Structures are given as C-alpha cells and as structure tokens.
Chains A and B, each alone.
Chain A
Amino acid sequence: MPRRNDITKILVIGSGPIVIGQSAEFDYSGTQACKALRAEGYEVVLVNSNPATIMTDPELADRTYVEPLTREYLEHIIQLEVEMMHGAGKFALLPTVGGQTALNLAVDLADAGILDKYNVELIGAKLDAIKKAEDRLLFKDAMTRIGLDMPHSALVNNIRDGLEFASKIGFPVVIRPSFTLGGSGGGIAYNREELMEILARGLDLSPVHECLIEESVLGWKEYELEVVRDLADNVIIICSIENMDPMGVHTGDSITVAPAQTLTDREYQAMRDAAIRVIREIGVETGGSNVQFAVNPATGRMTVIEMNPRVSRSSALASKATGFPIAKIAAKLAVGYTLDEIPNDITRMTPACFEPTIDYVVVKIPKWQFEKFPGADENLGPQMKSVGEVMAMGRTFKEALMKALRSLETGKRVGAEVLEPRRLTQRLVTPQPERINYIRFAFRRGMSVREVARMTSMDPWFLYQIKEITDALGVLADTPMENVSPELLRKAKRMGISDERLADIWAMPGADGVAQVRKLRHQHGLRPVFKLVDTCAAEFESKTPYLYSTYDEEDEAAPTSKRKVIILGSGPNRIGQGIEFDYCCCHAAFALKDAGYETIMVNCNPETVSTDYDTSDRLYFEPLTLEDVLAVYEHEASSGAEIGMIVQFGGQTPLNLALRLKAAGVPILGTSPESIDLAEDRKRFGKLIEELNIPQPPGAMATSVEEALAGAERIGYPVLVRPSYVLGGRAMVIAYDAEAISRYMKEAVEYSQERPVLIDHFLEDAVEVDVDALCDANDVVIAGIMQHIEEAGIHSGDSSCVLPPVDLSPSVIATLRDYTKKLARALNVIGLVNLQFAIQRDKVYVIEVNPRASRTVPYVSKATGVPLAKIASLLMAGSRLRDLLPQQVASGSDLETGTHYFVKSPVFPWNKFPGVDTVLGPEMKSTGEVMGVADNFGEAFAKAQLAAGLRLPLHGTVFFSVNDRDKVQLVPLVRQYVELGFQIVATEGTANILERDGIVVERVFKVKEGRPNIVDLIKGERINLIINTPHGQDTFFDEKAIRRAAVQQRIPTITTIAAARAAAEGIQALQREQITVYALQHLHQRSMSVER
C-alpha cells in the first residue's frame, strides 16, 4: 500500500522532560519519526516541553511547540493547526513515538472528545488498541482469548481486596500500579505488611487509583521481542532480548543481552508466534511494539507479561543493536507504506521486510546513581531506578560484557570495587547495582556456577561466561607481565579485558601502567579490528559504516582519506550529564558534515540521537575510555588524512580524557586541553582571575579536618564544601558552622593530598547567573545571560532560570559581559564557554568557568534561534566569529531573545525514591528540564512549572514564610496574591508584618512550635502554594519538612521573591484562562533570516 495522500499534516507528541523511565530514547525515536515524515512530504507539527532535545530543533518540524504536555495546551495547538489548514486535507496524530507520556496524552485527548471535535485521526495505534494493551484487565482477557498464558493476577482498587487476593495466590506478590511511568510505585511484597505499604503508595500514584496484584514469577527467565507490523498485516520480529537479571528486576534496571542466548529454536519460535498473536489481537495496526515474556527455567512454561503498543526504550536498544531503525520504519508504516515497500537503509538493496540477524553480541547495562540520593532503597525491583544505560557490542558475550562494564564510567578505578565479603550471599540474592561485581567476587572465591545460579536465579550460561573471564584474570594475575605469552594476552583481549584492568592486576598503577600494557600489546601486534553492524550477518554488502571494535582477524572498515573530525559523545545519561550534551554532539556532526568534513561519532549510549547511524558519516559504538578512543583514532588516522578530535561537547566524559589524548598525539580541536585543565585547577585559575581583577568568593583547600576548620574560619561562614574534580556537584554541602565541617570531613567525602577538599565562602542571598558565550580566541559573542529563579546555593542544573534576565541592573549586566569577555579571551576559548556568577548586593563574583559546552546550550539555542553548538564546532574547525555572526561582532551586541521570555525549569525523580530528602542544594538532583515561553515572565514561569508537573493554583491558600531581608518586599507581594483572591497563611514573624499593614492572615505554628503546624496544614491539603525564602540555618529543619510534605502533596514551592512575583503574574495569566502557544519557527523568523 502506498503513502496515504489524504493526510497532509501530522502531529507528533514528544515525551517531555527526561525522567527515570523516559530518557533520551524518545528523542531518538521522535527525531527519527519527524525526519521520516518530513521526508515523505508531510507537514509535521511537534509538541514537546523539553528544549534539550534534538527533536525540538526548528529544522526537524514545520512548527515546533515547546509547550506543556497537557490536554489544554494540546487542544489549543490542535485548534490553531486545524484553523491553518482551512479544511484542506486530513490532520493525523502519531502518539507512539513519545513514550508513555505521549500515549497517555493521546488517550486523554481522545477520551475528552478533542480528537473527534477537530477530526484528528490517530495513526500508528488506534484508541481501542492502546486501551487493550494498557488496561491490564482488557489485556488479560485478550491473552486468554488467544490462548496465551499469563501470571495469575487481579486488579484491585483498595487494600482489602489486595490482601484477600494475595492470600489466595500466596506471597510473594507483585504490585503494579496502572498507567504509571516505568512502573512507578510498583514493588514486590513478601508479607501482608509490605503489601499494605506498597499497595497504598501504588494506588495513590495510579491516575486511575488501581493496581494489579500478580502471581510472582520471580527468578524466571525474562525475554522481550520487538515486533513491527504493517497495514497489510505483515509482522516481523526485529530483535530478541534476554535479560541476564531474571524476572523481578525491571527491564530498565536489568543487564540485557541481544540476541537471546539460551532459547532453542523450538522455544524461540513459540515465543515469536505468541508475540505475533499478541500484536494482532491487541490490534496495533502499524509500527513497533514490544512484548515481554517470562519463562520458567525448570519447566519452560512461557507466560506473557506485558506489551507496549508503541516504540520504547527497548526498541531504541533493538534499533541500535541490529541497525534496524524501528521508529523511522514505524513512522513510514503509520502513513500507509508496507514493509516490503521500504528499503533497508543499511544494505540499500534488500527490503525492510525481513528479520535482522546479527553476528555479534550486544550487552546493555543500566547506570544508577544512588550516591545522589542518600537513604534511597538500592534494591532493584519492578520500579525502574536507573538514570541511563550503556550498550556494547562484541563478537562474544564476554567481550561485549566487559566493554559495557567499562563504558559505565563508575568513577571508580578498575578493580577498586568496594566489596563486603560477609554480605556476599545477600548481595547475590538481592539485586542491587553492584551485583555483577559480587558475582565475579564469588567466582574468585571459588564458588561454583551452580551455587551462584541458585542465589541469583541467573542462567548458568551467562554465569559461566563471567566465570571464564574471572578465571582468565586469575591466570593473568599469576603470570608476571614479562612472562605473558602473546597467546594469553590475545585471549584476554578477546574476552574484552581492558588494558587498564591488566595494569591493575599486574600492580602497575596510573596512566604509566596502562601505557606499559598498551606498549606490550602493540609489540605483540594486538590491536582491535572494526566490524560492521549490517542487519544481515554479512550475507549482503553493507553501505553504512556503523562500527564496533573486536579482537578478531579481519578489519572491514578501512578509513577514508577525507579530512575528518572525531566527536566524542557523553556516554551514559546521568544526573548532571544528560541529553543536552548529546544535543551538542549531534549539532557538531551536522555542522561539520555541511562544512565538508567527514564526521565520526564515538559513543556508547544506545538511547541517543548521536548513536543513530544517520547522524554522522561514521559511527563507532565504543566505550569512551582512553584505550577505546585511541583505537578509533589510530584506525582513522592510519589513512594519513587530516584529522581532529572534539572533546568539549560531550560533558565531563571526554574532557577527562583530553589531556591524555593530547599527550598521545591526538590533535584536539578548539579550546586547548591545557586551558580546560587550568579552569578546573583552583590555584592556577585563582591566579588568573586575580590578574584579571575579577572578584571570586574567598576560598581555601584542605586535606584534614583541622585545615578545613581553619580555612572556613578564615574565609567566614557559611561555606560551600566539596571535593575537587566533581561532576554535577557531587557531594557538595553548605556548612554554617564548625560542626557541619567536621562531620562532612569525617563522613561524607574522600580526600587526599592530590584531591583536597575545596572550601568557598558561600554568598548568601545572592542572585546566581549563568552565561553562555562563543569565542574564537579573539572575538566573543555572548549567547545568553540566564538569571536563576531559585535561591543561591542550589546547583545551577536544579535551578529554574529565565532568559533574558528580569531584574539585573544595567551596570551588573555590563560587568557580567565584561568579565565573560575577559575570561573567554584569557582562556583562549575556541568554541563555547559557560560561566557562573553570583551577584550579592550588586557586586559580581565569578563562581566557575567551564570552557566547554554547557547544559544550557540547547535551551539558549532555542531561546535565541541561533544554533550555538553548530557555530562552536565551525569555530573549532577554524571559522571566525566575525564571519559567522558578523552583525554581533561588528556591533559588540549579544544574541537576542526577541520580545519573549524563556524559562527553564528542572524535573526531579523524587517519586522514584520515597523517603529521600528532597531538599535542594549544591549537588544536582534533577534528571531533566522543561521550557516555558511567553511574552511575559509570569506566564513563561507558569508554563514551565506546569510542564514540570507543578500546576500553579488559581485560587486557594498561600503559605508565606520569608527571611528578614525579604521582609522589605513582602507586603506588596502578598497584596498581589490577595488581589488574585488567595487566602494567606503565615508563621508568626511574617504574620506580624502583614497584619501591621492590614492584611488578613491566618497564623500557623512552625514545626517546632506546636501543632497543628504548617506541615500538618500541607498534609491536610489546606495549602495550595508555598512561598518560603530560606532563613539560613535556623529554620533548616522546618524547610526540609515543608519541602518534603510539599513534594508528596505535589504543591508548588517557591524559594525566591523574584519567583514569587513571577508566579503571581503567571497565576494572573492562568486566571484569564488565556492560553498562548508559540512555534519556535515563528518566534525566530527574524533571527533565523539573519543567520542565513
């Protein structure tokens, strides 16, 4: 069937901010879908609140709305778009590429009659199919109809029914709340008490107040098949995935392997047949779905677990694992094509209607960050907790596993895993992030495969592979490096063992040790070869250079002699280093490709756009370690071509390699690694800014408790303390007294002579500002000055901010611009630089300078309509700012945001970590961000809050508690809220002031004062908005309690007067029921034409 010509316009809904369970994979799938639909000539309209995505780049759609993903905003956009069509053609909605968010929203729009009202057709999956797949009861009925087995289960909406059913089927039971992301709120209960606790939470989190109680299939083998169907009912399986962690651990938290390794053909085909029957019965018309199965390892009994009627995290993984672009194909199928009409991109000669076969093994390992959330339950279960993942390919499972492990960047030295021998059994039985290390430890201690299998329920085949690696390492450890035969070394490398690990077991520390292993390896002629991912196990010739390294015989990816640029990606998603950096890497690839370079991407994150084989000319799916990156470089450089490497776009990951890469002879483009190092070196940087006469908060360094206390005394409390060389502000605290310092030094941090603890005076009550700028070592253009809306002391990644700044004085702005230009030039920045400032009583202090792309680059690019990362990459390749931004260079002006305000707000994973302290501080905790746009600050702020999941109230009660400094501004602010119709609640001090000015206030106790106190009111749903500016240490406890209660009740909390004013304006806009939406393409028509 050919392309549908009746459809003219297609609405694509994105997945919103990055959260646990919904990450960059939906940027990848959404980007693919938008590209595919536009290539087919459709008008594409995109809605996504996440500005950090590639998919929201103005080039990818005809109109891009960075707006809240709510029914109201979507209806407004649909209405506008329908009006623009003037009745010509059909408007369709593709709901299957934006994760659960898009699917739920589409269902909501359909149920509310909005799709019917505007005659919008759902394509990809119809409403009935979505409901059948998502509603557990309907799904179970459907499975029964087609004769497929499922675990026994019942839906309950109260605790009593849950307890009754559980006692019938016996504990343990699994609790799965209906319609939540990534299994939020789910769990496994082994007894009645646990069931009551988990069920209560699950019912609360479920939007329909419903949970499934299910027979436990804990310990069963877990599989997933990726299925694609077209309108002609052709069905193909793209990939089988086997979880090494058995049932009981969420797939997103499992180590998974493709293809399935331990199924006979008989069993695999039975599963394939079942998956096909499932997609047909559910009625997903076109596109990708995944079906999960559990298999009893003792009897082979196979049960269906669930299916997702949309592309998913697993389909992104399957696409990267096989080279079959599921989302792209799904988009084409949704508009009428059949699989046999679409060519296979990789071979170009054969059709997409086939099942990929692979001749390598793929391993995915999740990345967790429990260290960010002290007190969080680290046990892995049915609710996903990982923040990112890595994938690796090797010719064997062993090679792929070892490559994946070193891709994780745990920050720990190889071989330095902290193991607790006494807890070995517990650590094997109870899944936690470190389990893989305990398995290796168990084998080192002589445990058998059978014993470990019994404790972990993992398939013995996987465990045997791990044992082989452990045994090989044992042999190597017993063989001094001088005596190692080439054969033994080759065997180790073929198992994926890194040079670093070899250096470790031979007790050769540091970079030198690794270099010696490398030298020995080269002496024996042991270098990796590169092989192609080709969807067909070499049966047909492949035209697409999608590569992975392996220690095998034949290299099949000879480098070209074109001039080329290697771009290092950012590795696994994590807090502090997310999709924003992938955005920058992709832009570098796009810009340099246009400029005539061959672009080469190196990355190991399967969720991203950068690891789409379409993004750059060559893709190396490789760990971002020195060994692996140098192998790629040496391979590419072997043609003698002109070559350079970009390290400033991938966040901290490539920067950490920069100096060593340079030392190894790799030409680094842009700002020199020495400059990057200087900016991170406190002493040298301190000297530089002293020379430039730029103020910095006084600081000290300490390697002992005594030094720390003396330092803090000298520079004055409060102080910010943190370890040197950190990512995303890990392990930072603000200390108000000596006791806090002592505690921190004793408990919270590791330090040494080389890695001292850093202590800075903390500028209380300051306004913080982020500046992004472009520099070519000569000219500087300021791209954006972002004013933080949150109180100072909160990590910039966790703070809402606004572009342009709303209340900085002209003199402050002039100073900021002056310092930015001085510093960019002094550091010889070529490319991007990010600076953080604090402004206290109109005095500007520089906090830090990062001569690299920052988290805010995509946001600023979207606000200004100028693609910063593209310009930066051209600068690194030798272009000049005066040619790229001639107007700004000539007039000395900054990039502009036009007449609109752009507010960025963070999104936090609190609901995944119940009980964790939700107080914000200098350590970043947010997983993602959203943007709100409007022609006034208030509305932009309200939209950003809404997009982040916090709805500002239209009426009700506001709780005020402000510090003494802010009391000057209190009265007019409160009046604003009174005029908007709000009741006011305040604690004593604040209430006294308000009453003096004749404002009616309800008084409430502080937590320590008595009850009912403010926390009781919050829990009693009496409060609709909290405005609480920090009082310093005195009420620290109150603030913590208030904030935790607010997060639980989902009540917006505002911590600065500026934000409180913005919120009032926003509420006013919301009260007018005025919904405004903006397409980026319209906002920037002017600046885009300047760009050209």
Chain B
Amino acid sequence: MQAILALEDGRIFRGEGYGAKGECYGEVVFNTSLTGYQEIFTDPSYAGQIVVLTNPQIGNYGTNTADNEAIRPFIEGLVTREFSPISSNWRSEQVADEYLERFNIPVISEIDTRALVRHLRTHGVMRGVISTIESDVAKLVAKARAIRKMDGTDLASVVTTKARYEWDNEAHSELLLAGEVAAPHPDLHVVAYDYGIKHNIMRMLAQQGCRVTVVPAQTSAEDVLELKPDGIFLSNGPGDPEPVTYAHDNIRRLAGRKPIFGICLGHQLIGLALGGKTYKLKFGHHGGNHPVKCTDTGKVEITAHNHNFAVDPDSLKESEVDLTHVDLNDNTLEGLRHKSMPLFSVQYHPEASPGPHDSHYLFKDFRRMMEGWKR
C-alpha cells in the first residue's frame, strides 16, 4: 500500500502505508523516545497530532492492554522508518500494525524520518496529511493547509471523559510489573480533572494510597469540592491552554482551598490562572531524555516530555510563585510552586510511561502536601 505524507509547506514524503487505509490530518510532531510507542499512540495529549517516531524500528514488541495510556489510541497518524509486521514479546497481545488498523489510524513507513525531523526542527511544527487513497499531492497539500491550527484550539474538552468515574487500578494488572500495584488501603481521595489524563498518572496516585475520582474537564470548582477531595489533580492534555478559560476560572477558585498538583497542560493552566502567559515552542519537547534541574536540590532528573506550549517564566515575575524546575537543554520553565498556597505543577511527565522514572517523587510530594493540609 503506497502512502504519502504531505506537509503544509509543500514538502512531500512517499512511503509504504500500514495500519488503516485512508487519510488523517494533524499537526506533525516528532518524538525521540526509544521505547514506549504504544504509550505514545494512546496518550490523549497527542489528539490532533500526527506523530513521527525517531526510533527507526517501531512495532517490534507488539501491543498489549496494560501499556495503554487511554482506552484507545489518540494520535491521528503515525510516521516511522520501519514498522514491524510481527511482534515479539512475552506480553504482546496484538501486532502494532493490526492494533492501529483496528482503531482506524493510518501509518506511513519507509520514509526518511530523519529528514522529516530535520525539516520540522528547522521550520517548526506544521500541519500535514497522511493518505493512502489520494495520489494528487497538490490536493493533499491543500488539505494540510485547511487543517485547523493548534494555536487557539481547546482540545481538552474534546478528549475529556463524558462522565465522572472512579479509577480501577486492578484492570490488566496481570501484565503489569512488580511494584505497580496500588497501596492496599487508600486513605486519601484525589479528584482528577481529565483534560486528557494518562492511565499511569492514576496508577501512580493509587500507589501513593489515593482513591482517584476522574471528572470531566468542565466540572465546576464547586462540584469538585462537593466530592470532598484531599487533593485536586490537573491532568495533561492536548491543544492550546489559552482558550481553556473555564479551567483557568476553576483553578483560581480552587487554589488555596485544597492541595493542587498539575502536570503538563495542567501546569500551563495553573500558569495562566496565576496570571502568567503561555507561548508555543518551535517544535515542542517530545521525548524521554530531557534533563530537568530541580532548583531546590540542584539535582538533575532525566524526564519524559510531551508539550508544544510552555509557560513564560517572565510573565510570572509578579506572581507569588517559585520556579522549581528548568530544562537544561533550552531553559524552558518546567515546574513551579506557589509560595503560600499548596499548589505545584510540572510541565514534564513524572508519571513517565513512556520515559524514565526519575521524577516519581513528585507523587510522594503531592501525598505529603495532602497529609499536611489534612492536619
């Protein structure tokens, strides 16, 4: 099956189609993780995006239900150098190709992904189309240009859960590894705003002895408080944080009343709620190897990243926050903490999945914060 990737600036890549037959549209971003393609497929933060994986060998170990970060894949399309038609791993349940086909996601493979990454690095992220059905490249480029831009788009409300639910940590536990089980007697209650939440965040909270209630993105602050949480979690998610104004309002109303922890989009929303500004990075951070320095300890964590937007530290100069984490590659703000209120957030992904576990301690910090607040 022939496939074409057309970018909005007219650059064309021709390769082999895998996964679903058809067409997909999205902002093209690249991820440099060496492992964890399935977690990437199913991370809701990738809604609206076509993902290029820099690791040239994708699909090798297949897919399994435990490694899903959501109930289905959220990427619009996938770009790889080579896509394995077989899988080999004791935990594998389905070949990656079949898995993506099942969820109607097109894949283009056998293209020079490094050339594409260099193009995106030089010219910034851009919109693109993968098609296995259209061979007229001019039409495809036109389609790419017609895709709605990510800037100014609230995607959190699109991917969020429709209804409130409790996280069941035991699902698929037979495929988890040792140490991933929930604490036996949860003694804290966390209400998590789902802007596109990843399963592993909830798993980490459960390991810290938290019962997790997941609520839709637009749930009001008052409704959340009514659930009597010990802490409130603001999740990761796709899209631009700026138009998600309902969240800014809710966070302002919740701040100081309950301990709050935010990750990624949650972090950006806190930044905006505290009066800061966000901006779009040229090609974002997507990968599992970014060094982030914790200014409290001076130690460096190797962290998982997946963000196109970031909070402008200068915009927070007037606010009552400490800047706690910074990316050593490009000095992007990666974490903050309120000086007086029990509120902190990180731009990167301490829940990893995929990525290194260096920052798991933040979930412990959150627990301690909730315990302290309770007393």
Contacts and interface: CB of A to CB of B under 8 A. Distances in A.
Interface of A: 232-234, 236-237, 240, 259-270, 272-273, 297-300, 338-340, 349-351, 353-361, 395-397, 449, 459-461, 464, 531, 536-541, 552-554, 556
B113 A556 contact: no
Given A236-B302, A357-B289, A359-B55, A536 B32 contact: yes
Contacts of B163: none
Given A461-B86, A464-B84, 6 more contacts: A232-B300, A268-B34, A269-B357, A340-B291, A354-B290, A395-B114
Question: Closest 4 interchain pairs by CB?
Answer: A265-B36, A554-B115, A537-B54, A265-B354
B95 to A, nearest CB: 12
Residue picked from A264, A461, A556, most chain B C-beta under 10 Å: A264
B121 interface: yes
B353 interface: yes
B234 interface: no
Residue picked from A262, A297, A358, A449, most chain B C-beta under 10 Å: A262
A356 B30 CA distance: 16
B352 interface: yes
Contact of A265 (B67, B298, B330): B67
Interface string B318-354: 0000000000111000000000000000000000111
Residue picked from B54, B55, B60, B299, most chain A C-beta under 10 Å: B60
A50 B254 CA distance: 70
Contacts of B86: 449, 460-461, 464
Contacts of B55: 259, 357-359, 537
Nearest to A552: B112
B67 A553 contact: no
Contact of B35 (A268, A340, A539): A268
A485 to B, nearest CB: 15
A750 B288 CA distance: 55
A265 B118 contact: no
Nearest to A295: B90
A410 to B, nearest CB: 27
Residue picked from B67, B118, B179, most chain A C-beta under 10 Å: B118
A831 to B, nearest CB: 39
Contact of A538 (B54, B289, B298): B54
B81 A351 contact: no
A541 B118 CA distance: 9
Contacts of A265: 33, 35-36, 38-39, 67, 352-355
A347 to B, nearest CB: 9
Residue picked from B13, B56, B87, B302, most chain A C-beta under 10 Å: B56
A395 B290 CA distance: 23
Contact of B288 (A351, A355, A449): A355
A808 B109 CA distance: 70
B309 interface: no
B370 to A, nearest CB: 25
Contacts of A356: 289
Contacts of A232: 298-300
B90 A351 contact: no
B21 interface: no
Nearest to B82: A396
B91 interface: yes
B90 A396 contact: no
Contacts of B229: none
Contacts of A269: 35, 352, 354-357
Contacts of B329: 349-351, 354, 540
Nearest to B13: A553
A541 B352 CA distance: 26
A354 B299 contact: no
Given A354-B329, A538-B117, A262 B61 contact: yes
Interface in B62-82: 64, 66-67, 81-82
10 contacts: A263-B35, A264-B36, A264-B38, A267-B89, A354-B290, A358-B34, A395-B81, A461-B86, A552-B114, A554-B118
Interface in B283-305: 287-291, 293, 298-300, 302
B118 A300 contact: no
Interface in B257-306: 287-291, 293, 298-300, 302
B57 interface: yes
A618 B340 CA distance: 55
Contact of A264 (B84, B91, B118, B352): B91
Nearest to B115: A554
Contacts of A537: 32, 54-55, 114, 117, 287
Contacts of B30: 539
B33 A351 contact: no
Interface residues of B, number: 57
Given A261-B60, A340-B291, A536-B32, A233 B328 contact: no
B356 A272 contact: yes
Given A265-B353, A272-B357, A537-B54, A354 B289 contact: yes
B299 A259 contact: no
B353 to A, nearest CB: 7
B135 interface: no
A355 B302 contact: yes
Residue picked from B121, B298, B329, most chain A C-beta under 10 Å: B329
Contacts of A350: 328-330
A1077 to B, nearest CB: 42
B300 A396 contact: no
B332 to A, nearest CB: 12
B88 interface: yes
Nearest to A396: B82
Nearest to A541: B121
A338 B299 CA distance: 10
B177 interface: yes
Contact of A552 (B67, B115, B288, B352): B115
Contacts of A459: 88
A461 B58 CA distance: 11
Contact of A357 (B32, B87, B112, B300): B32
Given A234-B300, A270-B177, A538 B355 contact: no
A883 B32 CA distance: 53
Contacts of B35: 260, 263-265, 268-269
Given A264-B61, A269-B357, A360 B121 contact: no
Contacts of B34: 240, 259-260, 268, 357-358
A844 B30 CA distance: 70
A268 B55 CA distance: 15
Interface in B1-27: 13
Contacts of A266: 66-67, 91, 176-177, 353
B115 A361 contact: no
Given A262-B61, A353-B291, A353-B328, A554 B112 contact: yes
A360 B56 contact: yes
A782 B91 CA distance: 67
Contacts of A237: 302
A268 B67 CA distance: 13
B81 A396 contact: yes
Contacts of A460: 86, 88
Contacts of B298: 232
A1060 B15 CA distance: 72
Nearest to A539: B32
Contact of B357 (A273, A360, A361): A273
A868 to B, nearest CB: 42
Nearest to B352: A269
Contacts of B357: 269, 272-273
A264 to B, nearest CB: 5
A272 to B, nearest CB: 6
A72 to B, nearest CB: 43
Contacts of B302: 236-237, 354-355
B75 to A, nearest CB: 16
Nearest to A300: B90
B288 A361 contact: no
B56 A359 contact: yes
Nearest to A532: B114
